[in-house]
Structure 1
Amino acid sequence: MSSPLTVLGIETSCDETAAAVVSRTPEGRGHILSNVIRSQVDEHAEFGGVVPEIAARAHIEILDGLIAKAMREADLGWDGIDAVAATAGPGLIGGVIVGLLTARAVAAASGKPLIAVNHLEGHALTARLTDSLDLPYLLLLVSGGHTQFLLVEGVGQYRRLGSTIDDAIGEAFDKTAKLLGLGFPGGPAVEKMAAAGDPAAFRLPRPLLDRPGLDMSFAGLKTAVRNAAYQAAPLSDRAVADLCAAFQQAVADVVGEKSRRAIDHFRDLHPDREPVLVIAGGVAANSAIRGRLEELGQETGARLVAPPHALCTDNAAMIAWAGIERMLLGPVDDRHVAPRPRWPLDASADAVLGSGRKGAKA
């Protein structure tokens, strides 16, 4: 490629409305020219979780303004954009529809190709934007809706090695926070309380830790927290902090051990390459989980790559970059791609969750 590629990205899969402009130099370096994100936490806080209809309406109200702001901050007109990339799934279908249809309109009006991006692929390729990472590498995707180990072998080439068989980690954090009356979003609330707690005060299980493989489970851990809370009721602030610390430590222990096995598996597959473990998704910001993986990297000699927090949570820069990676494979124009509520990265793997009419969730 002898000239830069510049793409406008749009992300509306859940409760963040985002637009960004990202460029790739002929040498392969990525540059974020703008990255605008508008969170909807306040709109959903009173409900204790994301309400799909409220999220979709908020996307409609603010997306046009965010796109205009992203273009202004990038100091570009439409002649400076090579394509428009938008999340086409998976996610809350109302939000996905808003973003994809807006992107389709922008692409048509500007005469640019439209690239329909898998939201999970955006997370999977972020480390190539931030760290110019070579392929292949391991990905631990930990978010509100997904928890899985993937082998990233190429753009569009992903092999699922393990997944949660029930709740995702972020979902377990949110439900634990709601159970303990800590509010929404649950992850940061639990982590804050855990900092003042004693993880040894409550004995909680480490689900599936005694079984081989990389699959995980967090529904039983969440139930164990509920049972412990009932037995200790009425809960003092100290007891809540201790429960949060015990829950967070149990999650970190499971993730750490499963990551060790994933690294060993990578070495078996690629004995001549340094193992690289990329952690992405909103839960990647959790200090206990990140700290455990940093320790694991020192113990095993594997390299841990964690993109900046702003690029671990949902954002449009990762969608724009995934669009660039797709363009490098050849011409793309996805004007007729339909929005999808479910869209596994490894479509060839057997369904673990949600194998109904909407397709496999993971």
Structure 2
Amino acid sequence: MSTPNPSILVGVLSGVGANLLWGLAFLMPVLLPDSDSVALALGRYLVYGLVSVGIALATRGAGMRGLDRGVWLTAALFAFAGHLGYYFFLVQGITHTGAPITTVIIGTLPVTVAVTGNLVRREFPFSRLLLPLGFIVVGLVLVNLVEVDWDTALGDRSGLNWVIGIGSALVALALWTSYAVANASFLRRHPEISPTGWSTLMGVCTLGLSLLALPVAALSGGVRVGSGDALLPLVAGSVVLGVLVSWVGTVLWNRSSGLVPISIAGQLVVIQVVAGLVYVFAWDGRVPPLPELAGIALIIGGVLLAIQRTRRTAPPKEGSLVDEAELTS
């Protein structure tokens, strides 16, 4: 049995920090109820891309020079899977089946990332993850029973809408799960690329994808920017989301992914849900009901138990790593 690795603590704290920032994405629509969600998302990714380009220019491409075409292609794939593509299918799910059902499907991300990551890397026996994952699943069920408006969720929708919506939500779930697992493997295979440099590189690719998506969204009528008093909050929200949630959050997540077993990093994803709920509760000045508090406690307890059960596990052999190209398989 190996001795505990102090870098695990740094990785866990980085993962927690990333998810605390990602939780702001839950709060922003509450703070800006009059802002169009698609416009806010595109603004977020445009800001993320522009900040990344600015950093690349200011540092003269430090950490990015000499990278081959395969690395750039991987960054573009991850920019799609973890950012724009994920969000596109998420919106399609919400549009066709409503936010409640889509939220329940996407809420399983901590479990899908943890299980997929351990299947790919075989970091420890699944028996060590069963109880923590059980806590998280029960906690998510309790939270969703309270938070989800099931009358809206089960409203009148055509069969085609259900198929498209649920299919889109599942695609979004698969994209982010694949991104999380493949990104962790990529960073371990390329220690010469720093978490900051990798976030910046993905941001540059995200800018390119955003510029391609912008005219499509505008011509389809799917984005409403507004003007006057409505424009300033949209810009401010886009800056917060682009700089803190996307760029800084991605830096912290990359650092965590390079240090923490992906099955643990996957379970840390649930913290963004808890953080988002706490932010909204604080803003609304309300206390969640007891079942939801119990669910949150189970979620946090499951993550802590998973860390405790796996902290002495030796790192897997390099040969067990998934290739980043598997993202597209």
TM-score (norm 2): 0.28
The structure whose Rg is larger is: 1
Higher relative contact order (CA 8 A, sep 6+): 2
Structure in which a larger fraction of residues adopt helix: 2
Structure in which a larger fraction of residues adopt strand: 1
